[in-house]
Amino acid sequence: MGYLACTLISLLLAGSPLPSRTLQTTIQDDAVLLHGSDASVKSAIDQIAYAGFNYVRLTASWSAIAPQSSSPHMPGPPFNPNDPLTYPTSGFQALDRAVVDAHQAGLKVMIDVAFWAPRWAVPIGSPGGENRYEPNPTLFGDFAGAVARRYDGDYVDPADPSIHLPAVQLYTVWNEPNQSEFLEPQWRKTSSGWIAESSQIYRGMYDDAYGQIKDASATDKVLIGATSADGSSTPGQGSVPPIEFLQGLACVDQSLRPLNIPQCDGYQPLQADGYANHPYSLETTPGTSSTDPLDVPLANTSRLETLLNALYLDGRITTDLPLYDTEYGYDSNPPDSAAPFTPTEQAQFVGWSTYLAWRDPDTVMFAQFLLRDPAPSPGESGTDPYETGLYYSNGQPKPAAQAFRVTLWAQRLLGPGSPLVLLFGKVPASSGRQIVQVESQSPSGTWTPVQTLLPSCASQAEFLTNKSGYFLTSTPLLGSSMTYRLSWLDPQGRWEYGVPIPVQASQPLLESALEPQPASAEGFAPVLQGTSIRR
């Protein structure tokens, strides 16, 4: 390797995140995990653990768990909305089962205390029982408290009185409250124009839920937001864009001046342990920016982080919040005939999107939405917008299933000296550092290990990940169009291979990555992490 390339590697390391940098991963699929048979739920949990996820995200559906949820009148005593003992056992049965199965598989659980509301908790009902019009914040907070008390680690398992239900220590509050599908009304007309009414409704719901969950267990973490990546560009119509929603939640305008509206009288700084984000970019690649400054797809995460930091510095939020990406994924074609990306591209985007989240020091969790595509309904057109599963509806794996287990991203970096390829990846790492190597494909189709450039400027094929199974290294670019794959020496001593990944175009330029960037910047300096193996 040339002197300049070695020097660039040394510069890249300067000021970079710690070699222990990790990223928790979570997956959600309520249709599979809450509505399947006992055997199918266990099988799905095993697939999730095998893929290397750390968490499962499960919905505690208020309307599904609460008694008499279709009645306009709340049940009287002995029902107490704050006491899980007074809820029907059948309402919690599916959630209990998934929590127990996940715990037994070594997975942690995140519970989304969410939709829909019982009819008796809203002033106006919604079609189909999907009640979401101004849910009563006190009653919602009571429900959140009941859920947290059930999963505080001391609650006796109704299915087996000899044990306690496992503790759940991470909660999100509602789901995509900036979307009209989940919360109404989104907007309210005032004498000075439209305001994001959903922000005001959600703040009341969140504050009550936060207080109740913390009362149940002060060490539980509660995430605010769970916002979708986009909204309407026309105030008063459709859904509220995430940036505008967060501004309204903190009772400030776009210039961060306090809002002078009755709902913000007596505003108290928001309390939370993190901000939940759903940075979907279903129609574009993971690295594509949105032209709307109020939207927050994955490539524009810094917009959200910059606003959160500003609100913290201004005293509108009590803590500088880390970011939890709790939903993400790509629709694939097939089965969705309207989706712009193939299953192969979906798999290639796994490494790209994971890298974008991992390189951001403020992001602590990344997500996959759906383990399995939903089964098509009779007469369905084949254009479901969320056929984002790692498996088809018949249980056959898509390439993305293997891409999540053995993950690789390859990106050209051009600069002075030899052109380099940045190589990022991860593998399951329950037992600590793992042995991996990256291979390139010849025109004849043969796979050959490449020599990676480690921080010591040594050149080696096999190397070790960090303790969490992640690595970032590089290799000289040997051709204008190269394809790579990650090889992992699994616990049985066999080489397991990831999906082929074509090298991405040369961005960013190596020179622009030399200096570490603040959290508010669009990018973050790559880190060359890897440890040589001596045998």
**One domain, residues 118 and 129:** yes
What residue ranges of the chain have pLDDT lower than 70?
A: 1-19, 378-385, 415-418, 454-459, 506-535
Q: What CATH number did the domain enclosing 272 receive?
A: 3.20.20.80
User: In the listed set 405, 423, 457, which residue is the last one of a domain according to the structure?
Assistant: 405
**One domain, residues 450 and 381:** no
| Domains: count for the chain | 2
What is the C-alpha to C-alpha distance for residues 4 and 17, in angstroms, rounded to an integer?
A: 23
**One domain, residues 388 and 425:** no
- The torsion angle over the Cα atoms of residues 535, 529, 350 and 321, rounded to 10 degrees, is 140
H helix runs in 295-398, sequence order: 301-313, 343-358
* Rama region for 350: left / alpha / beta (φ>0; ψ in -120 to 50; rest): alpha
**One domain, residues 326 and 354:** yes
The confidence score (pLDDT) of residue 459 equals: 62
Residue type, 293: P
User: Residue 72, Cβ neighbours under 10 Å: how many?
Assistant: 12
User: In the listed set 373, 388, 405, which residue is the last one of a domain according to the structure?
Assistant: 405
Q: What CATH number did the domain enclosing 485 receive?
A: 2.60.40.10
What is the C-alpha to C-alpha distance for residues 42 and 453, in angstroms, rounded to an integer?
A: 42
For 310, 417, 466, the CA distances from 476, given in Å and listed in that order, are: 41, 10, 22
**One domain, residues 254 and 301:** yes
**One domain, residues 288 and 325:** yes
**One domain, residues 493 and 401:** no
**One domain, residues 214 and 241:** yes
The confidence score (pLDDT) of residue 505 equals: 77
User: In the listed set 405, 423, 440, which residue is the last one of a domain according to the structure?
Assistant: 405
**One domain, residues 259 and 388:** yes
What is the C-alpha to C-alpha distance for residues 458 and 478, in angstroms, rounded to an integer?
A: 18
CB 21 within 8 A of CB 426: no
**One domain, residues 325 and 442:** no
How buried is 103 (Cβ within 10 angstroms: 0-12 exposed, 13-18 middle, 19+ buried)? middle
H helix runs in 250-398, sequence order: 301-313, 343-358
Q: Which of 208, 224, 81 is nearest to 138 (CA)?
A: 208
Cα angle 331-336-338, degrees, rounded to a multiple of 5: 95
- The range of the structural domain enclosing residue 363 comes to 24-405
**One domain, residues 374 and 449:** no
**One domain, residues 336 and 281:** yes
